[in-house]
Amino acid sequence: MPQVCIHLSEKELKEIDDYRKEWGIPRSRLLVRTFQAYARNYPHDVRAAKSFIEEISKILKDG
């Protein structure tokens, strides 16, 4: 299975983090929920979901 990497723009990542702050969602919980939602939509491609989470996680750590 080919690996799919999802890249989000800085603007998209900032919007995600702003949403998280607005609703008081801990970063770890946001990542878990994002992974679960992605896994439901793309159950056949767990690697892509992991790449997606890693990408978001990198930016959130910097924030």
Model confidence over 7-28: pLDDT tens digits? 667 787 777 778 778 878 777 7
Domain ranges of the chain: 10-62
What local confidence, expressed as pLDDT, does residue 63 receive? Answer: 56
Spatial distance between the Cα atoms of 31 and 18, rounded to a whole number of angstroms? 14
For residues 49 and 31, is the Cβ–Cβ distance under 8 A?
no
Element (H, E) at 2: none
> DSSP string spanning 42-59?
-TT-HHHHHHHHHHHHHH
Q: Which two tokens stand for residue 43?
A: 């159950």
Does pTM surpass 0.85? no
Region 31-57 average pLDDT? 72
